[in-house]
Structure 1
Amino acid sequence: MVWDTLNVIGVIAFAASGALTALEEKYDLFGVWVLGFVTAFGGGVIRNLLIGVPIRSLWEQHALLYIAFGVSTLLFILPASWLLKGKGAWVLFDAIGLSAFSIQGGLTAAEKGLPLIAVATAAILTGIGGGVIRDVLAGRKPLVFRKEIYAAWALLAGVLIQQGVLAHQWQLYLLFLLIVTLRMVSLRFRWHLPQRPFLKA
């Protein structure tokens, strides 16, 4: 139940995020589909390669593939005025996708009995992988490499899942809301990780 719900939430949110990025960059319909798909499924493919899940499992998710296609197409045909009015919600889509896929990635690795480092890495890559591919294809600096706190929230999800402190479904949903909230709060108050200037010789 949790797995299926997080899959649907993550695919909708990240497909929307990818499609909106493509529209902002003035890509055509094919470009919107590509960015919608790679944002929705890129992180999961990277995770599967890492932990040994067959890549063909992607093509077995027929409903999710159709959902990503439908979301991308819907955003392409919506009036531009509607998209502009909802522009402030774009970061929310990204936060929702980050949260849903981080938890899903952590659960996938934890169910295989993998150690903490593997579960944490799976959570991070599932949460940020699609977004990194999206930004690269859009010619942007990947969000995760900026000073904003982004991947750290995915790491938090992986650690909590591997430690076994989330034994019930409602706890996983609570974690989902927590990660979304932390991501949005960190944006609102401009929390960031430490940086250091490049030292010139």
Structure 2
Amino acid sequence: MLWEVLNVVGTIAFAISGAIIATQEDYDILGLYVLGFVTAFGGSTIRNLLIGIPIESIWTQGNLFVVVFLVMTVVFLLPDAWIPYWNRWGIFFDAIGLASFAIQGALSAVQVNAPLSAILVAATLTGCGGGMIRDVLAGRKPMVLREEIYAIWATLGGLIIGLDLISGPWTTGILFVTIVTLRMCSVRFKWRLPRYPIW
């Protein structure tokens, strides 16, 4: 039950981030829904395509689609005075989404006996793919490729699962907390990957 709650929280956080970017880019309500849904479900959809999971399985999340739709409608109707509060707390909820989606993606790949390379891709795409598609549709440079360290933490989660270093709910929970903590540290301390030129 806790895992399902975290998954819902992460999905909603991703949807809100997509909706907020749509408002910042002056999109209409259709554009807001498109960016929100793409951010929330785009990564898992691409993952399913790449590792051979039936693509129609995405539609089994009917109740979550309804929740996301309602949340984005609220975002559209609210005045923009609440956005600074989201900027303060949204990063934390986004980190929850990153961790839960990355672990979910890696475990999905493990269930279909995918090789380690596919597990790494599944974890990374599930955690970051939706945000990358969102940024491309919004005409922005993908955040995960230029801001604080983000995608690497999803890949790290996939690596740990792919190497079979977790063996039950407790170790999975520890991995989840670790990814969230590392992501928040990246934001707090401005951790970035090296850029060209290095010197």
TM superposition score normalised by structure 2: 0.91
Q: CA deviation at 1:80?
A: 1.8
In the alignment, is the contact (CA less than 8 A) between 1:11 and 1:67 conserved in 2?
no
Q: Distance in 1 between matches of 2:190 and 2:101?
A: 23
Mapped pair 1:58 → 2:58: yes
Q: Please tell me the root mean square deviation across aligned C-alpha atoms, in Å.
A: 1.9
Q: CA deviation at 1:115?
A: 1.7
What does residue 115 of structure 1 align with? 115
What does residue 145 of structure 2 align with? 145
Question: Identity across aligned pairs (percent)?
Answer: 55
What does residue 25 of structure 2 align with? 25
What does residue 131 of structure 1 align with? 131
Q: CA deviation at 1:150?
A: 1.2
What does residue 4 of structure 1 align with? 4
In the alignment, is the contact (CA less than 8 A) between 2:149 and 2:183 conserved in 1?
yes
Q: Distance in 1 between matches of 2:31 and 2:170?
A: 38
Secondary structure of the corresponding residue to residue 166 of structure 2? coil
What does residue 196 of structure 2 align with? 196
In the alignment, is the contact (CA less than 8 A) between 2:13 and 2:90 conserved in 1?
no
Ranges in structure 1 where 5+ consecutive residues have no aligned partner: none
Q: Distance in 1 between matches of 2:185 and 2:41?
A: 26
What does residue 158 of structure 1 align with? 158
Secondary structure of the corresponding residue to residue 86 of structure 1? helix
Distance 1:14 1:3, change over 3 A: same
Q: CA deviation at 1:139?
A: 1.4
Q: CA deviation at 1:50?
A: 0.4
Q: Distance in 1 between matches of 2:143 and 2:77?
A: 27
Q: Distance in 2 between matches of 1:114 and 1:6?
A: 25
Q: CA deviation at 1:45?
A: 0.7
In the alignment, is the contact (CA less than 8 A) between 2:10 and 2:94 conserved in 1?
no
Kindly provide the amino acid, as one letter, of the partner of residue 55 in structure 1. I
In the alignment, is the contact (CA less than 8 A) between 1:2 and 1:169 conserved in 2?
no
Distance 1:3 1:117, change over 3 A: farther
In the alignment, is the contact (CA less than 8 A) between 1:6 and 1:101 conserved in 2?
no
Ranges in structure 2 where 5+ consecutive residues have no aligned partner: none
What does residue 179 of structure 1 align with? 179
Q: How many residues align?
A: 198
Distance 1:128 1:33, change over 3 A: same
Q: Distance in 1 between matches of 2:169 and 2:12?
A: 21
What does residue 46 of structure 1 align with? 46
Q: Distance in 1 between matches of 2:3 and 2:47?
A: 15
Kindly provide the amino acid, as one letter, of the partner of residue 60 in structure 1. T
Instruction: Give structure 1 regions of 4+ aligned residues with deviation exceeding 4 angstroms.
Output: none
1:98-113 maps to which residues of 2 (within 5 A)?
98-113=98-113
Q: CA deviation at 1:90?
A: 3.0
Q: Distance in 2 between matches of 1:187 and 1:9?
A: 20
Q: Distance in 1 between matches of 2:75 and 2:185?
A: 26
